[in-house]
A and B are shown apart, each in its own frame.
Chain A
Amino acid sequence: MAISQNWLLRPFQERSTQIFLGVLFAALVVVTFLHLFMPQDSALHVSAYTVTLLGKYLCYALLAVAVDLVWGYLGILSLGHGAFFALGGYAMGMYLMRQIGDRGTYGDPILPDFMVFLNWDELPWYWLGFDMAWFAFIMVLLAPGILALVFGFLAFRSRVTGVYLSIITQALTFALMLAFFRNEMGFGGNNGLTDFRDILGFNLRTDATRLGLFIATGIALAIGYVICRAIVTSKLGRVSIACRDAEARTRFLGYRVERVQLFVFVVSAMLAGVAGALYVPQVGIINPSEFSPLFSIEIVVWVALGGRATLYGAVIGAILVNYAKTVFTGVMPDAWLFALGGLFVLVTVFLPKGIAGLLQKRRKAKTDDDTPTGQEATA
């Protein structure tokens, strides 16, 4: 098969991407069908609750893909990707807040409720424009994108690498968490943004909107996945791997490592932002705990569990862990942490390359063409 010359089309010729997209779209179609056309009481009916739940998993999957892009291929273990996710979420949340209009508790047409009862007189400047969908959606990309750009510019320029980079990403998200907790920041403090009503004119509390959001998330995941795949399979992807494994050597070949890192990091942050933006209307709240360092670590755990540097592994990991969480917190509320913790331990010990490693092994038995997976890079 001739390899496409267009970098964006290249992923579509890969078997793994074809399978991934096939499975994803099949899942979207099946869920939609079962939700719409199966009678409520049928065992096959997929409830609105489940649809939203799946939507949430897909958001997490997109987030995990974003993390895998920088961790798996660029060797940057970001322990602060939750920050980009949350920023995207806040951008969306601000839009949704403004959509409430005068239907809030205090009926103030401009100010969100939390501002009214904490005596704000006017909307802070950074809330301006968020009543317009286009502006908010641009901010979904820009807010995390710009943060990643500034942060990455500083860090990569100074050649911060390894754990040092990981820890300052963590410091970044931690600082943002504390900042967003502050009520003075004007983002609702600990309570965050909630009580959303509608999005683009659709009532958020209807099943149809939920289904729509679910499908939109699925499509976003597909697009995000293809973008990442395109980057990874391009020459830039190979340069990324080169940076990951031998940063100094890459420089001597004439590549500006810091720019490669910055580019990929910003793309990844934006994808995380999109994931956050889709997450917020589906779960109905955004609060600073999304900035918590432990959440960011958890994302990395999903990726590691699914299998690093495969992208689809990240998707599997995110969905699996969160599904396990949903099930365990329901059926064994007192002991679910044992199960989840045990799962993490067992996977690491018995599946060195995560779940994707297991799949790969089986695939490898059949074919021999295999994209190189990461050796150990430094943390």
Chain B
Amino acid sequence: DEHPIKVGILHSLSGTMAISETVLKDTVEMLIEQQNAKGGVLGRELEAVVVDPASDWPLFAEKARELLAQEKVDVIFGNWTSVSRKSVLPVVEELNGLLFYPVQYEGEESSENVFYTGAAPNQQAIPAVNYLMNEIGVERWVLAGTDYVYPRTTNKILETYLMDMGVAKEDIMINYTPFGHSDWQNIVSDIKRFGSAGKKTAVVSTINGDANVPFYRELGNQGIAASDIPVVAFSVGEQELSGIDTGPLVGHLAAWNYFMSVDSDANYDFIDQWIEHTGNDEAVTNDPMEAHYIGFNMYIEAVKKAGTTDVDAVKDAIIGVTVPNLTGGYAAMMPNHHITKPVLIGEIQDNGQFSVVWETPSTVAGDAWSDYLPGSRDLIADWRKPMSCGTFNTKTGSCGASAGEMAAADE
């Protein structure tokens, strides 16, 4: 086959999400370039097909359809927000596409056609809380998040988890703010008050993107130092920090599966390539970029293994594929379409980087269905034949309805 392999890139280049997603587009483009420099795969070139879904959720679905139905791409790398993924999901399922999703998310999903290379809650939130509890001795918790599904779900999981661990209800404060919230005076003041009850307090932040800068500014100005009330964030990476004056933030934390500061050769190489690709000496890398790096390499491996880009063949081949990650270890694609990841806790430094202060002893496999939510406790996903099920109920021993229907539709 002489046709190039078409790689769809479905990341917002305009609108509110452009701030996060443009670098992911550039990352995939860079990876494609590099792969082509290595001679492509199966002797075929790779070709990027870029579209701009413009941070508009229905447009994500439309563009996904355009990529799959019109452009006939072999695979899509894309999406950041969960809502955009939810919007695209029916389309990739209907048209039997492949989607690599690189961002940490709330879990509770496993699609036959989607590969989740970002963290599930058990690969980020739970370990972070464990760290705070065990290493820092936190007893009182503020769960602050932007009001949407990822923080809601994550906080739900954490609340259940914390209560299981014996934390009293009054020691948990939950607070939601709208997207792009910029006036944090009251909330920070509340946090300060909440933290003055004589117990070590920490903030677990699922605050999204743009709202973070004013949040941290306010923290700094109201004099909340990391040593008093540390904030551990799940959505603040190097990209976000590059827009913040990090001076007052030193010591606050983030939990990710990758930091740019990680001391590994693979990482240093990746950074060098990235800087060369962007032509910007100050360019930073971050966790979702690593996720794409992993996802991309997994895809390449799977295509090699399957010997074709045929979607079904790749889907089968990719489970079990293992590729190096950037932190010096390996990532494996699990049967539930999530991958294994190390969990790192980093402290913000004054240079806008994180220094790793703690990490899990080994990699953690992503859990599609949380063990801390009653509705999904008993569910697992396994896309290997013959089970091929995204919602297998271990109690009843049967596959959930949606998968059943999908299987029927496939016939």
Query: Which A residues contact B (CB, under 8 angstroms)?
Result: 47-49, 52-53, 56, 102-108, 113-114, 116-119, 178, 181-183, 188-192, 194-197, 205, 283-285, 287, 289, 325-326, 329-330, 333-334, 336-337
Contacts and interface: CB of A to CB of B under 8 A. Distances in A.
A191 B83 contact: yes
B243 interface: no
- Most B-side CB within 10 Å, residue of A118, A190, A196: A190
Interface in B100-154: 108-109, 147-149, 152-153
Contact of A107 (B53, B57, B374, B401): B401
Given A49-B66, A178-B178, A287 B400 contact: no
Contact of A329 (B53, B65, B178, B400): B53
B41 interface: no
Contact of A284 (B54, B61, B63, B156): B61
Contacts of B148: 181, 183, 189-191
Contacts of A325: 54
Contacts of A289: 56-57
A334 B87 CA distance: 22
B295 to A, nearest CB: 21
B147 A118 contact: no
Interface string B172-216: 000010110000000000000000000000000000000000000
B378 to A, nearest CB: 10
B83 A190 contact: yes
B82 interface: yes
Given A118-B156, A287-B83, A333-B50, A53 B178 contact: no
A291 B87 CA distance: 17
B152 A118 contact: yes
Listed from nearest, the 10 A-B pairs whose CB atoms lie closest are A190-B148, A333-B52, A283-B58, A49-B69, A107-B401, A329-B52, A285-B87, A103-B401, A116-B375, A205-B94
Given A52-B65, A287-B83, A117 B375 contact: yes
A195 B83 contact: no
Interface in B61-96: 61-63, 65-66, 69-70, 81-83, 86-87, 89-91, 94
B147 A183 contact: yes
A116 B149 CA distance: 13
Given A49-B70, A107-B391, 5 more contacts: A117-B108, A190-B147, A190-B148, A194-B86, A336-B14
B16 to A, nearest CB: 10
Given A103-B402, A106-B375, A326-B62, A183 B149 contact: yes
Contact of B51 (A178, A285, A330, A337): A330
Contacts of A52: 62, 65
A66 B108 CA distance: 40
B405 interface: yes
Name the prevailing secondary structure of the A interface residues: helix
B300 interface: no
B333 interface: no
Contacts of B90: 194-196, 205, 284
A333 B86 contact: no
B32 to A, nearest CB: 15
A48 B83 contact: no
B59 interface: yes
Nearest to B106: A117
A53 B53 CA distance: 14
B219 interface: no
B400 A337 contact: no
A172 to B, nearest CB: 17
A123 B94 CA distance: 28
B70 A107 contact: no
B400 A333 contact: no
A197 B56 CA distance: 22
Given A53-B62, A329-B59, A191 B86 contact: yes
B36 interface: no
A182 to B, nearest CB: 6
B51 A181 contact: no
A119 B155 CA distance: 13
A232 to B, nearest CB: 30
B306 interface: no
Given A105-B109, A183-B147, A333 B87 contact: no
B58 A284 contact: yes
Nearest to A279: B58
Given A117-B375, A195-B90, A205-B90, A333 B51 contact: yes
Interface string B226-267: 000000000000000000000000000000000000000000
Interface in B253-290: none
A290 to B, nearest CB: 8
Nearest to A50: B70
